[in-house]
Amino acid sequence: MVKLLPLGDAAVLAYLPDEAAAQQFAAAARAAELPGRLDVVAAYAGVAVFFDPGVTTWAAAADILRNLNYTETAMHVEPRPHELPCCYEMQLDVARVAEHTGLTSDDVIRLHTSIDYTVYAIGFCPGFPYLGYLPPQLSGVPRLPAPRVRVAPGSVGLTGRQTGVYPLERPGGWNLIGRTPLLLADPAAGYFPLRVGDRARFRRIDETEFRRLDGERLPDR
């Protein structure tokens, strides 16, 4: 069941039953013959399909999307895998996470590196990946009582059921448990290597390897 709503006069917002269905719908929408289509943006269980209102109307676009047979089409693209090196010694809040979860600091790191995460959305700032979902033992840690004014680029944080990476220096209130040396966003160059639907797994590194990799780009997959 797909629920379609207008998003202004130049986009259709589709709500799907779950994240997997949204990924299938987004792939089918990108492949569909939709006049004036400009972009397809998925986030969690929602998909926004942007179009040129000078070429088509909301009603016409919605009619095409409403009839997409997205669950049975060959639109199931294998997710691109990424490895994100992370120095967990470069952290500020592992003790806070450990205290809240009842885990040891080593267990926090072990669990954080134990699974593959899906990029469910890109937002907050250019290139910020919302990665889910954390192992249950790590879930439920609230944000900081007050956000930090400055979070260093590459900082890896978590809160609730999600983890993520600050690709640019920004304020932030997530619990910082490590830092990746890789460049994950360069707005001036239009470089944003992570996409919704990609998979990512964190790999523990030490400070020596962090310095060796500092500033390198995420390998293209």
Residue-wise pLDDT tens digits, 164-198: 999 999 999 999 999 999 999 999 999 999 999 99
pLDDT of residue 78: 78
Tokens of residue 220, six digits: 């293209």
Nearest to 117 by CA among 220, 50, 19, 1: 19
Percent of the chain with pLDDT over 70: 97
My answer on whether 60 and 88 are in the same domain is: no
My answer on whether 153 and 193 are in the same domain is: yes
Encode burial over 121-140: b for 16+ CB neighbours within 10 A, e otherwise.
bbeeebbbbbbbbbeeebee
My answer on whether 117 and 39 are in the same domain is: no
Cβ 173 vs Cβ 146: under 8 Å? yes
Instruction: Give me the helices (H) in 45-90, please.
Output: 58-66
Residue showing tokens 């629920």: 3
pLDDT of residue 71: 83
Tokens of residue 114, six digits: 């134990």
Q: Tens digits of per-residue pLDDT, 33-78? A: 999 999 999 999 999 999 999 999 999 999 999 999 888 754 566 7
My answer on whether 96 and 131 are in the same domain is: yes
Please give the model's pTM, rounded to 2 decimal places. 0.91
User: Does residue 218 lie within any of the structural domains?
Assistant: no
d(CA 61, CA 158): 37
First to last CA, the chain: 33
**Domain membership of residue 40 as a residue range:** 3-66
Instruction: Give the burial class of 158: count Cβ atoms within 10 A of its Cβ; 0-12 exposed, 13-18 middle, 19 or more buried.
Output: buried
pLDDT (average), residues 10-29: 94
Taking CA atoms, 221 is separated from 56, 113, 129, 199, 200, in Å, by 35, 20, 17, 11, 12
pLDDT of residue 60: 96
Average pLDDT, the chain: 95
My answer on whether 32 and 57 are in the same domain is: yes
Domain count for the chain, please give it: 2
SS3 50: strand
Residue showing tokens 């699974």: 115
My answer on whether 61 and 86 are in the same domain is: no
Least confident range from 44-48, 149-153, 185-189, 217-221: namely: 217-221
Give the pLDDT band (50/70/90) at residue 214.
very high
d(CA 162, CA 123): 13
My answer on whether 96 and 19 are in the same domain is: no
User: Does residue 184 lie within any of the structural domains?
Assistant: yes
All residues at 6 or more sequence positions from 106 whose CB lies less than 8 Å from its CB, including other chains: none
pLDDT (average), residues 141-159: 98
